[in-house]
Amino acid sequence: MSEFRVRTMADMMAAGEQADILFWVGCAGSFDERAQKITKAVAKILHAAGLKFAILGTEESCTGDPAKRAGNEFLFQMLAMQNIATLQAYEVKKIVTACPHCFNTLKNEYPELGGNFEVLHHTTLINQLLQEGKISIQGGAFKGQRITYHDSCYLGRSNNIYEAPRDIILKLDAALVEMKRSKANGLCCGAGGAQMFKEAETGKKEVNIERADDMMESNANIVAAACPFCMTMLRDGVKHHNKEQDMEVKDIAELVANAIDL
């Protein structure tokens, strides 16, 4: 793999170039150590596919999703309008993001505030790149593995994206096994709706532990995720069951990057 440098929109503009697509990294992808690995995998895939992409770098800020879900519409709209101004200044047309929450907000909630962009989740884009042959998976890095896919609420129920991540897993030459609750019936990881940032209310169990039970039952050795927040919750669930030796949680992008040896 040749070394490359991830460029910012500012770099590109200074060089008089225009990016084909903006990679919206998101807060988790930028700061969370585990999620940074997902970010890097996505960047490598975009580079390998020959896409001219850029990030906003320090000019990116939170889309406002958790504020909106927590009822702080002021804060949400302030962040959203600033982001829209930045995106418009760089004449961004197309965005890819590895975070379903950013994806949902950018795609569905920015248009009413004047931000109209073509927004893709990385699983959709990667699936397209595979179909178009811009990247291809050779060899069976995952042959004989049992992979289950955990639907992110903000991709699945919220935006009806169920198939792209599964299509990718099938191309990995692995066995795709479904958990008892999947697709439209999938159980939340417990992070959404700003729950990630607070303690759970009193109850019998944490939501991510309930979900981890489904994962254990599936007997998969890899749990594929497509959201950095699900990643945190599901990994905690695996830890809770002391199954870190038998079960890995990996983002779809990481699986693909691994399979094409990036």
The terminus-to-terminus CA distance of the chain in angstroms comes to: 6
- Nearer CB in complex with other proteins: 14/170: 14
Min separation Cβ 84 and other proteins, Å? 11
Contact between 36 and 247 under an 8 Å Cβ cutoff? The reply is: no
Determine the 3-state secondary structure of 177 from DSSP. strand
Determine the 3-state secondary structure of 119 from DSSP. strand
Min separation Cβ 242 and other proteins, Å? 20
- Nearer CB in complex with other proteins: 133/204: 204
- Nearer CB in complex with other proteins: 33/133: 33
Q: Which two tokens stand for residue 245?
A: 């030796």
How large is the greatest C-alpha to C-alpha distance in the chain, in angstroms?
58
Q: Which two tokens stand for residue 164?
A: 């792209």
Min separation Cβ 163 and other proteins, Å? 16
Contacts of 59 (CB under 8 A, 6+ apart): 8, 9, 10, 86
- Nearer CB in complex with other proteins: 91/112: 112
Min separation Cβ 115 and other proteins, Å? 11
Min separation Cβ 35 and other proteins, Å? 9
For residues 99-111, one letter each, b for 16 or more C-beta atoms within 10 angstroms of the residue's C-beta and e for the rest, the string is bbbbbbbbbebbe
3-state DSSP: the chain helix, strand, coil percent, rounded to 5?
A: 50, 10, 40
- Nearer CB in complex with other proteins: 158/221: 158
Min separation Cβ 144 and other proteins, Å? 27
Min separation Cβ 90 and other proteins, Å? 15
- Nearer CB in complex with other proteins: 175/216: 216
**Number of Cβ within a 10 Å radius of residue 204:** 6
**Number of Cβ within a 10 Å radius of residue 123:** 29
- Nearer CB in complex with other proteins: 89/170: 89
> Cα–Cα distance between 45 and 262 in angstroms, integer?
8
Residue 1 burial by CB count (10 A; 0-12/13-18/19+): exposed, middle or buried? exposed
